């Protein structure tokens, strides 16, 4: 089996992006025993228009060291996908990266370099074709073909299909974060797709058991019902409105970014108009344990849309690592942790699930819950990824 000297991660978000954390950066941080290279994703033409500084900064290679991880930003990432210009920019970036890898690891660098690409790297088909890695690991993080922002945009969907066709044909190892996704895309491309789930920084979120509550929630009327994470198409706003109306003495707290245009604006404004609803916006990752510490129940108010049901929510693992009770809509991801998650079949049952979480959780159960998450650490996920990659490349 091959032994890897380096791992190249195709980034899902820029390394310094603070509004949302993601699987790729967590895996890069957890990777051990290899030199780590993280490639910032190309912002594309739209991203450059929103942030014109990227146009001037994007003319040359840029590099930084982030706690032992080499973060590289290739030039011309602002090139549009249209007319294949992004593919041309990707090919040029791949040529430069091949030179770097050959200088460090010799002409046989492909034998000792693991390249990780997620399903959100769908604009980088040209880059991967030009790089032609021997050990490509393709990781499906979401149901791309059912995701509204992709499925509803023909050009974006076509770009995804092109990327999947290449990755599923060329990657010796392919995995998905849920059994549902592994079965769907394995059948679609007639190949084996393993299951490699999301993970959690157990040390970071375990601090919720002893951390002081964040000041923003410490003085709110109890119980405090907390949701952390992005508010987008898979958050059931109607459910949250029903919850706030059913439990008027509780404080419903939302921490995270609202992605305008991905959710029903009318429902969002109706939710925020409730006197017991508190939207705090985005908070630094370092502070999240304090918000969890100040909560009585943690919420996973997902819809049952296809792309939602097939997902493996990062926040589920983070919630569970805190030891706090979790109330969730019935999802395959939640069913795996049925001993600790209080589930509801739909919006009208959700207040009852919250009530069970408040009444039934106990300190011994909280300790067992947090302990169970040790098997789901990011380091454990990285080790599993390497085993799959080595077995596929043998």
Q: Which of 9, 7, 10 is nearest to 124 (CA)?
A: 10
Identical fold at 6-199+377-393 and 202-375? Answer: yes
Q: Can you tell me the distance from the alpha carbon of 124 to that of 274, in angstroms, rounded to the nearest whole number?
A: 43
- Look at residue 79 and tell me whether its pLDDT is greater than 60: yes
What is the torsion angle, in degrees rounded to the nearest 10, for the CA atoms of residue 233, residue 159, residue 27 and residue 77? -110
Q: Which strand ranges, in their side-by-side order, compose the sheet holding 297-300?
A: 277-279, 251-255, 224-228, 297-300, 326-329, 341-344
Q: What residue spans define the domains of the chain?
A: 6-199+377-393, 202-375
Largest CA distance in the chain: 67
Confidence grade of residue 86 (pLDDT, cut at 50, 70, 90): confident
For residue 120, give the DSSP letter. Answer: T
Query: Cβ–Cβ contacts within 10 Å for residue 134, how many?
Result: 15
Confidence grade of residue 48 (pLDDT, cut at 50, 70, 90): low
Q: Can you tell me the distance from the alpha carbon of 267 to that of 273, in angstroms, rounded to the nearest whole number?
A: 10
Query: Cβ–Cβ contacts within 10 Å for residue 101, how many?
Result: 23
Reduce the DSSP state of residue 249 to 3 states and report it: coil
Helices 363-372 and 314-322, axial angle in degrees (round to 10): 130
CATH of the domain spanning 6-199+377-393: 3.40.50.2000
What does the pLDDT look like over 331-354, one tens digit per residue?
A: 999 999 999 999 999 999 999 999
- Look at residue 295 and tell me whether its pLDDT is greater than 70: yes
- Look at residue 54 and tell me whether its pLDDT is greater than 80: no
| Cβ atoms of residues 71 and 38 within 8 Å | yes
Q: Can you tell me the distance from the alpha carbon of 319 to that of 79, in angstroms, rounded to the nearest whole number?
A: 39
Among 65-79, 300-314, 350-364, whose mean pLDDT is lowest? Answer: 65-79
pLDDT of residue 262: 87
- Look at residue 82 and tell me whether its pLDDT is greater than 80: no
pLDDT of residue 322: 98
- What integer is the mean pLDDT of 109-135? 97
| Structure-block tokens of residue 28 | 């890069």
Q: Can you tell me the distance from the alpha carbon of 171 to that of 137, in angstroms, rounded to the nearest whole number?
A: 6
pLDDT of residue 51: 59
This prediction has a pTM of 0.94
CATH 3.40.190.10 assigned to domain 202-375? The reply is no
- Torsions phi, psi for 177 (to 5 deg): -80, -5
- Look at residue 249 and tell me whether its pLDDT is greater than 80: yes
Confidence grade of residue 75 (pLDDT, cut at 50, 70, 90): confident
Question: What are the E-state strand segments in the chain?
Answer: 6-10, 35-39, 62-66, 69-73, 113-118, 135-140, 173-176, 194-195, 224-228, 251-255, 277-279, 297-300, 326-329, 341-344
How far from chain centre, in Å, is Cα 140?
A: 11
- State percent of the chain over pLDDT 90: 86
Burial group, residue 269, by CB count within 10 angstroms (0-12, 13-18, 19+): exposed
pLDDT, the chain, mean: 93
pLDDT of residue 57: 52
| Cβ atoms of residues 94 and 77 within 8 Å | no
């Amino acid at each position: 089996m091959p032994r890897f000297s380096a791992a190249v991660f195709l980034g899902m978000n820029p390394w310094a992006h603070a509004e949302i954390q993601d699987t790729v950066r967590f895996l890069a941080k957890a990777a051990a025993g290899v030199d780590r290279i993280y490639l910032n994703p190309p912002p594309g033409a739209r991203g450059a228009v929103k942030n014109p500084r990227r146009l001037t900064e994007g003319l040359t290679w840029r590099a930084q060291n982030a706690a032992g991880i080499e973060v590289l930003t290739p030039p011309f990432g602002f090139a549009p996908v249209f007319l294949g210009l992004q593919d041309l920019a990707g090919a040029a970036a791949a040529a430069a990266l091949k030179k770097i890898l050959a200088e460090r690891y010799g002409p046989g660098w492909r034998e000792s370099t693991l390249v990780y690409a997620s399903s959100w790297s769908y604009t980088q088909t040209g880059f991967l074709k030009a790089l032609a890695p021997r050990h490509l690991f393709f990781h499906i993080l979401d149901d791309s073909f059912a995701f509204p922002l992709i499925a509803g945009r023909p050009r974006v969907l076509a770009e995804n299909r092109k990327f999947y066709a290449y990755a599923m044909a060329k990657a010796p190892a392919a995995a998905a974060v849920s059994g549902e996704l592994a079965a769907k895309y394995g059948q679609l491309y007639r190949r084996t797709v393993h299951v490699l789930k999301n993970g959690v920084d157990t040390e970071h979120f375990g601090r919720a058991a002893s951390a002081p509550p964040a000041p923003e929630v410490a003085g709110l009327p109890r119980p405090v019902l907390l949701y952390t994470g992005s508010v987008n198409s898979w958050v059931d706003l109607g459910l949250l409105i029903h919850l706030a109306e059913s439990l008027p003495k509780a404080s419903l707290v939302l921490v995270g970014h609202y992605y305008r245009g991905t959710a029903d604006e009318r429902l969002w404004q109706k939710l925020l108009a409730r006197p017991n609803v508190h939207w705090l916006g985005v908070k630094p990752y370092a502070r999240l344990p304090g918000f969890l510490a100040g909560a009585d129940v943690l919420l996973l108010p997902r819809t049952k849309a296809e792309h939602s049901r097939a997902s493996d929510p990062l926040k589920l693992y983070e919630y569970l690592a805190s030891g706090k009770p979790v109330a969730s809509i019935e999802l395959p991801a939640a069913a795996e942790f049925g001993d600790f998650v209080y589930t509801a079949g739909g919006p009208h049952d959700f207040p009852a699930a919250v009530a069970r979480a408040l009444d039934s959780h106990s300190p011994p159960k909280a300790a067992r819950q947090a302990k169970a998450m040790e098997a789901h650490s990011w380091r454990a996920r990285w080790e599993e990824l390497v085993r799959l990659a080595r077995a596929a490349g043998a």
